[in-house]
Amino acid sequence: MLSPQEEYTSLLKMKPELIYRVQLLTLFLINCAGALSISFSVFDAARKLNMIFVYNGLLSSMMVILFLMKRFIVNSKIQNRAYIVFTLIIIVLIQFLSMEYSIVISMTFLSSMVMLVYIHFNKRFVYIATLLYLGIVLYHLISMPVITVRLSYSYYISSFFVIIIAFSVSHMGITLFKKYEDLLFRKIKTTTEQMDEIKSLNLKTNKALQILESIFEASHDGIVDIEQSHGTVNMSSRSCEILAFQCSGLDTLELELSTHLEAGKKSEFFHRWEELKSRGGKSYSRECYYHHPDERKRLKFNILAYTSSEDESRHILLVVKDITNEDDQAEKIYKSAYEDSLTGLMNRQALVEYIEKHREKYFISCVAILDIDNFRFINDSFGYEIGDRLLQEIGKRMVGHEIPFVKAAARLSSNDFALYLDTVVDEDQLYARIQNDYSQYILDDIEIKLNFSVGIAYFSDSEANADGLIKKAEIAMYKAKERGKKGVCVFSDDLNNEMIRHLDIMNELEDAISHHEFYLNYQPKIDTRTDRIIGFEALIRWQSPRLGFVPPDEFIQLAEQSGLIHLIGEFVIRESCQFLKRIMADYGFIEDFRISVNVSAVQLLNSSFYSSFFSILDEAAVPPEMIGLEVTETAVMENKAYVCNQLEKFRAKGVRIYLDDFGTGYSSLNYLTMLPIDILKIDKSFVDNITNKNREYQVVKLILSLASVFSLTTIAEGVETKDQLDILQSLDCHIVQGYYFSKPLIEVDGYKMVLERNPL
């Protein structure tokens, strides 16, 4: 059976043959029409026979020529053109033979047929040729003289009969050919669409096969496909690499797996393997160790039985995944999540989970947090490498749990460690044991002795959680550091309330600045020789709408920890400058008159403090000589070299430097020679008992003598009685301040006191 394409090709080959037959039919009909026309002409019989002989002879010759061309010339276009050329020649010859209208009509019909044949069966041109011919016939009907009615009717009937036959034959041929051609086109189109769909499916199938082959070979997992009936095995290159062998048979595969699989998992593996081979069923997954001569791996096997939809063959698909590195990575992740990388101890999360898991075993338990005092000094002095090694050595000692009842040890942060104990402890004995076991080390011939601040917290009820217990111990540890370090503190409800108070203050502190809740009080300073006010000490005060009045000793340290001390310090300096501007408006520049402001170590160690300080002074147009900075020995100890350099820069600009609370801190005489100070302030604790002429009196006397040696101005704080004032005057103390003269005043009252004691 021929395909549509082949049928169409055959049809195209038949087309020249059909054209050839129509050409012969046309010539035959023209012959008939011409003979009829001549027969009905007015010529005599002899001439009619002569004209019929010539006319039919020419047309017959043309038919012979077409036959010969069809036989010897394959190209149908050449044949058609020859047909036209010869037809035109015949028309010209006939014109010479006769000028009869009937012959002209016949030739016109012949021309239309030639055109019809040449355009290859186009119906539109058949209609055009028909209309053209009818028009010519009508023209001749009107213009031709009528010889006899019978002759005219006979002529026209015969001509129209021939025309109808010729055109009908042509029209039928064209219709049949076109109809058959349309059927073939539709069939070809349908077949082409089917072929395109088949091609598309083939492309998709090929693409799917290529993807499957790529997955089979490129998968990170090894894939082994086993066809059960023939026992053929197809192994991907990755499976050969993981299993360290290659085979093509099922028996060899099972033997190799049996040789290398972990002994304890082998029987279960092959039991499930045989089940899947015999009955199919669900897939099977198992992780086990796999041994071969070079290394030991941990593999994950996934086995699946399936039936091929193509040939109903039964298969087993074995997927092998090497999870050795994943296990190693999981172990690393576990260590990073639960183990301190430096010391190998538990980290905070691990300790929390350990306590939650084990605390129900013990009737009572506690956590002790150990913080190394001044650990930063060790890093700064000996370097971070020594610091890290020191932490590692502490971790090694804690691993053994040498202290009785210690169940776990952890490193919580840089220099904070934790011990979990399962009993009530005597805090002093525990601290002594910690100092004894963990305090002394020798690293690279460097002898290091440590002190710890220790906080202890107990589980008080069953609802408490481990994380909360650790936080309570940390609160107790911070309290131990506040008390002077090198000590121990046990968490209590009072301590908890204190920490809650600190949190409340911290939460309110930042808003207090933006809501203008701070204000200044000014403590007057009186010259003991002239009884005049020579300045004030600016004291920050905070009135909170929610907390009420908050003393400075409660919020200053918290402000230092949070960094808000810089904003508070700028507020104090700016307000003090505004007060000075008001005084200067009346008095102008007053020599030795100044307002002093307290600055902390946090402010002094800030690189921008110097520039911001003088920017405020320049903005307020206040001379630096009318501002003083009060610093404590503790602030200097934070970084002696840097702080001294900073203070020297302030002094160079005319700012006076006060050493506050002298004698209560480190009390080193070196400060008097090392620090760039101008004024020495004697702490209130020495002035309180000065009238008893006891040790405090001798200390004050000694301080005043030292100040005289170093040419320092002296100020005594906390003067509350006339007797205290008299003694200080007798010892030649330059300036005094205290409640004897006035409590700290708001700006308006301070200004009034200046007017009273320093009249214009």
pLDDT band at 382 (very low <50, low <70, confident <90, very high): confident
Mean pLDDT throughout 158-169? 57
Residue 401 CA to residue 276 CA, distance in Å, equals 54
Q: What is the mean pLDDT of residues 424-443?
A: 90
Are 370 and 481 spatial neighbours (Cβ–Cβ below 8 Å)? no
Angle at 273 between CA 272 and CA 279, to 5 degrees: 80
Is the pLDDT reported for residue 111 higher than 60? Answer: no
Please give the share of the chain, as a percent, with pLDDT higher than 90: 27
- What pLDDT does residue 146 have? 45
Segment 191-203 mean pLDDT: 67
* Other CB atoms within 10 A of residue 499 CB: 18
C-alpha distances (whole Å) from 287 to each of 260, 261, 283, 320, 617 are: 14, 10, 14, 10, 76
Residue 639 has pLDDT above 60, yes or no: yes
Question: Band of the pLDDT at 674, cuts 50, 70, 90?
Answer: confident
Whether residue 439 contacts residue 451, with contact meaning beta carbons closer than 8 Å, is answered with yes
Tell which residue, 736, 758, 759, 722, has the closest CA to residue 524.
736
Q: What is the pLDDT averaged over residues 711-716?
A: 93
Phi and psi dihedrals of 419, rounded to 5? Answer: -120, 135
Over its C-alpha atoms, the chain yields an Rg (Å, rounded) of: 60
Letter string b/e over residues 4-42, b meaning 16 or more CB atoms within 10 A of that residue's CB: beebbeeeeeeebebbbebbebbbebbbbbbbbbbbbbe
**pLDDT (tens digit, 9 = 90+) per residue, 139-154?**
555 555 444 444 445 5
pLDDT on residue 610: 94
Start-to-end C-alpha separation, the chain: 134
At 441, give phi and psi (nearest 5°): -145, 155
Burial of 149 (0-12, 13-18, 19+ CB in 10 A): exposed
Q: State how far the Cα of 315 lies from the Cα of 308, in Å rounded to an integer.
A: 7
CB 205 within 8 A of CB 255: no
Query: Is residue 278 scored above 90 in pLDDT?
Result: no
400 contact partners, CB below 8 Å, separation of at least 6: none
Opening angle at CA 129, ends 127 and 135, nearest 5: 105
Q: At what angle do helices 149-218 and 123-143 cross, to 10 degrees?
A: 170
Question: What is the pairing mode between strands 656-662 and 627-632?
Answer: parallel
Q: Residue 118 pLDDT more than 50?
A: no
| pLDDT for residue 208 is more than 60 | no
pLDDT band of 321, cuts 50, 70, 90: confident
Average pLDDT on 14-26 reads 65
Predicted local confidence at residue 744, as pLDDT: 94
649, 610 contact by CB (below 8 A): yes
* Alpha carbon distance 616, 629 (integer Å): 14
Rounded average pLDDT over 237-244 = 77
Higher pLDDT, residue 323 or 173: 323
Q: Between 59 and 392, where is the model more confident?
A: 392
Q: pLDDT tens digits for 488-541?
A: 999 988 888 888 888 889 889 988 988 999 999 999 999 999 999 999 999 999
Which position has the higher pLDDT, 540 or 128? 540
Is residue 226 over pLDDT 50?
yes
Chain centroid to Cα 625, Å, comes to: 56
Find the range with the poorest average confidence among 48-57, 424-433, 552-561, 569-578.
48-57
- Cα-based angle 586, 591, 593 (whole degrees, multiple of 5): 75
pLDDT band for 566, please (50, 70, 90 cuts). very high
3-26 average pLDDT score: 62
DSSP, collapsed to helix, strand or coil, labels residue 523 as strand
pLDDT of residue 617: 95
Predicted local confidence at residue 149, as pLDDT: 45
pLDDT surpasses 80 at 284: no
> How far, CA to CA in Å, does 548 sit from each of 504, 505, 545?
12, 11, 6
Number of H helices, E strands in the chain: 27, 21
Q: How far apart are CA 544 and CA 546, in angstroms?
A: 5
| Residue 443 contacts residue 386 (beta carbons within 8 Å) | yes
pLDDT for position 334: 59
Q: Tell me what pLDDT residue 453 has.
A: 93
Q: Provide the residue type at 727 as one letter.
A: I
The reported pLDDT for the residue numbered 148 is 45
> Which residues lie closer than 8 Å to 511 by C-beta, 6 or more apart?
517
pLDDT range class, residue 88, cuts 50, 70, 90: low
550/15: higher pLDDT: 550
State the pLDDT at residue 262. 75
The token pair at 540 is 């920050």
pLDDT digits (tens, 9 = 90+) for 98-107: 444 444 445 4
DSSP assignment string, 472-515: HHHHHHHHHHHTTSSEEEE--HHHHHHHHHHHHHHHHHHHHHHT
pLDDT digits (tens, 9 = 90+) for 653-672: 999 999 987 766 555 566 67
18 vs 392, residue with greater confidence: 392
pLDDT at residue 283, rounded to an integer: 63
pLDDT band at 270 (very low <50, low <70, confident <90, very high): confident
How far apart are the C-alpha atoms of 530 and 70, rounded to whole Å? 149
Q: Which of 115, 44, 42, 38 is nearest to 84 (CA)?
A: 115
- Which residue carries 């160690």 as its tokens? 605
Q: In what order do the strands lie in the sheet with 406-411?
A: 406-411, 416-421, 366-372, 452-458, 487-490
pLDDT at 255: 81
Structure tokens that stand for 533 in this block: 């006010």
Q: What is the DSSP string of 679-748?
A: EEEE-HHHHTTGGGTSHHHHHHHHHHHHHHHTT-EEEE----SHHHHHHHHHTT--EE-STTT---B-HH
- The token pair at 39 is 């027969």
Average pLDDT, the chain: 78
Is residue 725 scored above 50 in pLDDT? yes
DSSP 320-344: EEE-HHHHHHHHHHHHHHHB-TTT-
Q: In the predicted model, what is the mean pLDDT of residues 120-139?
A: 57
- Band (pLDDT 50/70/90 cuts) for residue 651 is very high
Q: What is the pLDDT of residue 22?
A: 65
Residue 516 · residue 713 · CB < 8 Å: no
